[in-house]
Amino acid sequence: MTLLPIRNVAIIAHVDHGKTTLVDALLKQAGTFREGEDVPDCVMDSNDLERERGITILSKNTAVTYKETLINIVDTPGHADFGGEVERVLGMVDGCLLIVDANEGPMPQTRFVLKKALEKGLRPIVLVNKIDRPQADPHGAVDKVLDLFIELGADDDQCDFPYLFASGLDGYAKEDLDAPGEDMKPLFESFLHHVPPPVGDPEKPLQLQVTTLDYSDYLGRIVIGKIHNGTINMGQQAALINEHGEMVKAKVSKLMGFEGLQRVELATASAGNLVAIAGFANANIGETITCPNEPQALPLIKVDEPTLQMTFCVNDSPFAGQEGDFVTSRQIRDRLMRELETNVALRVEETDSPDRFAVSGRGELHLGILIETMRREGYEFQVSQPQVIYREVNGQPCEPYEYLVLDVPEEAVGGCIERLGQRRGEMQDMQVSNGRTQLEFVIPARGLIGFRGEFMRLTRGDGIMNHSFLEYREMAGDISSRRNGVIIAFEEGTATFYALKNAEDRGSFFIEPGVKVYKGMIVGEHNRPQNLDLNVCKTKHLTNHRSSTGDELVQLQAPVDMSLERALEYIGPDELVEVTPESVRLRKLEKKKLAKR
């Protein structure tokens, strides 16, 4: 049994505020890596998508030892769409480190996770990161954090928070802004002094709450959680109390702890430790593993419900089965069900059609990450436009509302306010500083569907947009979509330069010459509100006459890059996104299929 004193700490930060880089510095200075070892950047972002996007999607555990104390560090997602991960992680820790950018201060996703932490009674340590940047205002950031704490209803003890200044990139932290920065020791010391040791009695009957799920081909389902009371031994008999209060006995087939980035096998572990256990095939989030002779369940963890739903269906386009390895309804269903093993904020329901599945998630990013992961694994399928999930509250139909913050250049302020007004957004606050304006809105979630692309055009790519779930409120009324019509290919073939050049004045295209198209495929956006059927495969009739302008170099406008996220936001109710490992295509839903829906 480990006799080391323990500190369990969660790291909370907004996307791109330097959380993962800071963890890298902590691991390096704690001696996690041996001398000469090749150390990757962003070691906590193990997922390819996390590395590409620079965001944390899955919460992960690591552990370092400092002054004979085992410090368990849990990296939490910074995006509100991954609230399912955040909820559970905060139940494993006794303190948290709030990282804020010295220039930007706390942002909406910080607000979302911080609110959850304060509700659980955690007392945060505030770390003002990136103080080495030219426009940094560290003391201003601390003042903004205090304002946010008061706004979120923090108690007096939480508002009297300790704070440090740091540069994760340069690998130092310090309490005094004017002192030279040397290393991360001040941050390690603050963990020891300000994070309480876990409360628990090793002599009491076992109580372990499942907070994260993992899966191994060799061990099956692996449950990760914190031991609240008691001691657990490798190979012992234990019992799982599920959400219905039923007790299922099982054997602990594997017991693992955390050391650096690795899981290490343990013979025994006691109260306060974070452990991973195999042997409980049917365990779910929030359930309790306990002693079979004296079973005592812990309160179930409540996770934010999904707010968006979309339909996943088998690809039935003319190009179906040409690019993907997994295309059948059974394969897609099995993959979605496997995702439910570890993705707690996701819901998958079967519909009256065997090749369609209703998939619900926390937001467009949450669902978009699942779609992108599946296509990289070789799956081919189609998805519909995201729809918000309505609920009945006190007999009234209600819809989800989001708290939206925009950071835009001054010239774009009027356009943003006008567009959000049309989408039923209500402005809460407006602040101007250094030639930029920060706008705060409360808006129905359906008002945000398709807004990101419009926002990028309004701000010419120079705007920052963040939003988090607020609450369910009464319906806001109709929201009209002001998107133009689309250009639709009316025959199968290969798009030609000649046809696209001749139709350039009709709108903007999503494809370039040489791309294969089929009837019903959306190839561009029309300049007018109505749809336009167009032959994009038309070729120039050759003659034996030489044109006087034949040798001139004619250029085509660059096509609009229709990424997966942009396609999901762009499509209308009668359109689908066809997703394959190699392509993302937009298409119109056929009339007979639209009638079935």
Domain of 515: which CATH number?
2.40.50.250
Quick one: which H or E segment has residue 172? strand 172-174
pLDDT at 242 over 60: yes
Q: Distance (Å, rounded) from C-alpha 112 to C-alpha 116?
A: 7
- Could you tell me if residue 55 is inside a domain? yes
- Could you tell me if residue 245 is inside a domain? yes
User: Of the residues 194, 221, 245, which one is the last residue of a structural domain?
Assistant: 194
Domain of 461: which CATH number?
3.30.70.240
Range of the domain at 461: 391-474
pLDDT digits (tens, 9 = 90+) for 385-433: 888 888 888 888 898 888 888 888 888 899 999 989 988 899 998 888 7
If asked whether residues 95 and 214 sit together in one domain, one would say no
Instruction: Give the per-residue pLDDT at 33.
Output: 43
Domain of 115: which CATH number?
3.40.50.300
pLDDT digits (tens, 9 = 90+) for 55-88: 443 445 778 888 888 888 887 664 444 445 566 6
Q: Give the pTM.
A: 0.70
Instruction: Give the per-residue pLDDT at 591.
Output: 52
Alpha helices in 79-234 (DSSP H): 83-90, 108-119, 138-151, 156-159, 185-194
Q: Are 174 and 166 in contact (CB under 8 A)?
A: yes
Q: What are phi and psi of 440, to 5 degrees?
A: -120, 130
Q: Are 1 and 65 in contact (CB under 8 A)?
A: no
What the block records as the tokens of 326 is 């997994």
The DSSP symbol for 87 reads H
Over range 114-122, report the average pLDDT.
82
User: Of the residues 255, 290, 325, which one is the last residue of a structural domain?
Assistant: 290
Over range 136-153, report the average pLDDT.
85
Quickly list DSSP for 304-347.
Answer: PPP-EEEEEEE--STTTTSS-SB-SHHHHHHHHHHHHTT-TT-E
Q: Is 170 annotated as a binding residue?
A: no
pLDDT digits (tens, 9 = 90+) for 453-508: 788 888 887 787 777 778 888 888 887 766 788 999 988 999 998 888 888 888 89
Q: Are 403 and 392 in contact (CB under 8 A)?
A: no
pLDDT bin (cut points 50, 70, 90) of residue 136 is: confident
pLDDT at 382 over 90: yes
Quickly list DSSP for 229-261.
Answer: ESEEETT-EEEEE-TTS-EEEEE--EEEEEEBT
If asked whether residues 276 and 189 sit together in one domain, one would say no
Count how many domains the chain has.
Answer: 4
Q: Are 577 and 590 in contact (CB under 8 A)?
A: no
Over range 138-147, report the average pLDDT.
87
The DSSP symbol for 263 reads E
Q: Is 116 annotated as a binding residue?
A: no
pLDDT digits (tens, 9 = 90+) for 191-214: 888 888 888 888 888 888 888 777
Q: Distance (Å, rounded) from C-alpha 225 to C-alpha 208?
A: 6
- Could you tell me if residue 45 is inside a domain? yes
Instruction: Give the per-residue pLDDT at 51.
Output: 42
pLDDT bin (cut points 50, 70, 90) of residue 135 is: confident
Q: Is 21 annotated as a binding residue?
A: yes
Instruction: Give the per-residue pLDDT at 41.
Output: 43
pLDDT at 513 over 60: yes
Instruction: Give the per-residue pLDDT at 522.
Output: 93
If asked whether residues 97 and 218 sit together in one domain, one would say no
Q: Is 565 helix (H, G, I), strand (E, B) or coil?
A: helix
- Could you tell me if residue 219 is inside a domain? yes
Instruction: Give the per-residue pLDDT at 481.
Output: 64
Q: What one-letter code names the amino acid at 63?
A: A
Residues 6 or more apart whose CB falls under 8 angstroms from that of 310 comprise 358, 359, 367, 383, 384, 385, 386, 387, 568
Q: What's the number of CA atoms in the CB half-sphere (13 Å) around residue 382?
A: 25
Q: Is 545 annotated as a binding residue?
A: no
Highest mean pLDDT among 109-113, 236-240, 277-281, 309-313: 309-313
Instruction: Give the per-residue pLDDT at 216.
Output: 75
If asked whether residues 232 and 188 sit together in one domain, one would say no
Instruction: Give the per-residue pLDDT at 521.
Output: 93
If asked whether residues 214 and 283 sit together in one domain, one would say yes
Q: Is 17 annotated as a binding residue?
A: yes
pLDDT at 237 over 70: yes
User: Of the residues 249, 272, 290, which one is the last residue of a structural domain?
Assistant: 290
Report in angstroms the alpha-carbon separations of 292 from 21, 200, 279. 43, 19, 15
pLDDT bin (cut points 50, 70, 90) of residue 578 is: very high
- Could you tell me if residue 353 is inside a domain? no
Q: Is 539 annotated as a binding residue?
A: no
pLDDT at 35 over 50: no
- Could you tell me if residue 356 is inside a domain? no
If asked whether residues 61 and 143 sit together in one domain, one would say yes
If asked whether residues 92 and 223 sit together in one domain, one would say no
pLDDT at 39 over 50: no
Instruction: Give the per-residue pLDDT at 43.
Output: 42
**Range name among 23-32, 275-284, 547-556 with the lowest pLDDT average:** 547-556
pLDDT digits (tens, 9 = 90+) for 537-560: 888 776 666 555 554 456 788 888
Percent of the chain with pLDDT over 90: 14
Q: Is 16 annotated as a binding residue?
A: yes
Q: Distance (Å, rounded) from C-alpha 155 to C-alpha 328?
A: 54
Q: Is 226 annotated as a binding residue?
A: no
If asked whether residues 179 and 153 sit together in one domain, one would say yes
If asked whether residues 467 and 436 sit together in one domain, one would say yes
pLDDT digits (tens, 9 = 90+) for 306-345: 888 999 999 999 998 888 899 999 999 999 988 887 777 7
Instruction: Give the per-residue pLDDT at 50.
Output: 41
Domain of 275: which CATH number?
2.40.30.10
If asked whether residues 190 and 69 sit together in one domain, one would say yes
What the block records as the tokens of 262 is 């690795």
- Over the chain, what is the mean pLDDT? 80
- Could you tell me if residue 159 is inside a domain? yes
- Could you tell me if residue 516 is inside a domain? yes
If asked whether residues 80 and 174 sit together in one domain, one would say yes
If asked whether residues 266 and 154 sit together in one domain, one would say no
